[in-house]
Structure formats: C-alpha cells, structure tokens
Structure 1
C-alpha cells in the first residue's frame, strides 16, 4: 500500500497564481466574478462603508460596520448596525412587501421625537445625500455589474484603463485582496475618474 501525501499549497503561492490570471485579462476576470456572484441565491456578509455624503457639500462620513443579509428572489436586503453610535438599528427592503418601501428602525430620534420605525422611499437616502447608492443597488453581483458597464461602451472602453495592482491587506479587516485600479477621463454620468475594486483572495468575491 502506497501512502500518497498531497502537497499543501502555501496561500502566497495560490494568491500569486490567481494574480497572474487576473493580470492577464482583468475585464474577463471581472466577468467571471460577476457570473459567480450572480449564481448566489442568498448570503450574509459583513462590510465596511465609508462614503462622501451630503446634498450640497460632501464630507467624508465615519466608517460604518454593517451586517447584511441578501436574497436574490424576491430581492431582499437587511442591514444591521451593531455600533452604539449608529443612527439605526436595522433597515429592511423586500421587493413586493411594505408597498416596496424601505423600513428603518431608528436608534436615535429626530428631536424632539423618540426613535421610530419608518417606511420610506428606498431611493430617498441617495437623493438626499445620506448615501451614495440606494439599498436596491446592493449586492455582490450588482456592484460587479456596475463596474463592468463602462467596458461595454466601445467608445468609453477605449479611453479607460484597468490595471492589476497586486495583493494588499484591505483595511479595516486586513484581509488579503487583489487590487484592480480602474481609471477614466471625466465622463458624463460618472461621478469619479478612479475606482479601486478589490477581490477577496480567499473566496474570490468582491471585497
């Protein structure tokens, strides 16, 4: 009887090999990431959000830690904030429920009223400058799809660049992640000329 010992691949070796695949064709790799994300029917994750917010003058808001539950069909998202200084306990959007409103449970009330449970237009936080995107835009597949959209415009794709920047420890969780830098000239319909896109080196999903 022959005992076969399978060699254990060091994470750095695995990460380097994946980095080579990303570097060979970043756009094609992003399409594979999108397909992988789109195949997920439901998941839970913790993410960190720090955005420039404000309707007239934008300022950098404090970083938030948010626990999220996602379901593809019917489209449903639940956010939970555990930090004691957060404005909300949770928010829930479920397509076809609550008149398609976003239901939020406040941690802090609006003076002089105590905290309440409110049902609002899901687009309202983005319209009033409290968030960059609506909760209806949330999801791994959707964020990857938004990143890919400009590359499907031949004229825009010609003037854009996408470069693999290597492996980084992404703050604040310090998870090893592959970094893609996407740049484009000032373009109507796009607020920024630069996008940093990260792919978790372990699960190969958007970080």
Structure 2
C-alpha cells in the first residue's frame, strides 16, 4: 500500500471517528436537554402539589375582631307574667297555644327583664309586617351602628354582608335594607339567609369565614 493510500485511509478513519464523536456528543446533549426539561417539570409539579397541600391544611386564619349586640330601651322590658297577659288580651291564641308559650318561657331561660318588641306591649297587640320591619330595622341598624363605632370603621369599608332571620323574610330582603340604609358600595357581597331556624346563625358565621379565607 502506498503512502498516499495510507494517508487517505487515515484521514477517512479520522473523519469517521470525529463524526462519531460529534454524533455521540449531540445525542448526549439532546438527552441531557430533555432530561433537564423533565426534571424541571417534575420539580414544578412537586412545588405545585406542596403549595396546594399546604393551602388546604393551613388555610387562612379568620379572627373575630369585635362584635355588637343591640340593647333596646328600658320601656321594652317585659316580664313573663306581662307577656302572657298581653298574649291573652290579643285574642289571637287558644288556651292550648298559651299553655305551650308558658312552657317555652319557663324552659328557654327567659327572665323577667327580657326585651320584647314594642308592638307586643300595645293593647291590643299590633302584629303586622310594618311593625315587624320596624323592629328589624331597630335591631339590625342599632347593632351595626354600635359595631362601626367600636371598630372605628366606616360603612363603605364593609365588603361582605350576611343577614339571617329565622322567621321574618321580607321583600326587599334584609340585606337590601341594610345596603340601602347605610349606602354600602355596589360591589359588596350580600347573602340573605332566612327560614332556616336558629341554627342558621352558625351557618352564617361559617359562610363569613369561608368568604374571608378566599379573599
């Protein structure tokens, strides 16, 4: 074999070897690239899972800053004896119903300094939608005014409003009544719970908690 042939063969082999190295290098880089992408995706998925798990387990804490209870005027105080007397004078209940009301008064913890609506102290009793709305406005507006005064907040700062009444369910709703009276902002979230019994008070508190956690 001539020197030229040997040189050509050596160059061909060198070129083939070089191409093989380049090909292996590129394959390695491609595999490394896809490996990095896969690792990045797995890392992102893990972080997302951890964050979601943490949010579910450690949800935002909600605290009661303050509260207010409406206290009527002293002329609204009514003893149990006076209440039964007023109930009988109204002529709207049978003896069986009055006896049942006596049992309720004795077992529910009502004392002789319990407040009742003004309409129940009148003779005859004035039981009407107008009086019910008047009573509701006094209680709700009075409690909200006291709460705003205690917390130094303004009515326009309120973002969520939940009203609850087990019996009185007027139209417009109680929440609409509050919004119109206090001129609350139009973006406020309003929920009016009614006809759900006394347990709806707990439902309203839980609803407020959930709404505050997602804001």
The structure richer in helix per residue is 2
Q: Over alpha carbons, which structure has the higher Rg?
A: 2
Higher relative contact order (CA 8 A, sep 6+): 2
Please say whether Structure 1 and Structure 2 have the same fold, judged by a TM-score greater than 0.5.
no
Q: Under TM normalisation by the shorter chain, which class is it?
A: under 0.3
**When the two structures are superposed, what TM-score results if normalisation uses the length of structure 1?**
0.22
More strand by share: 1
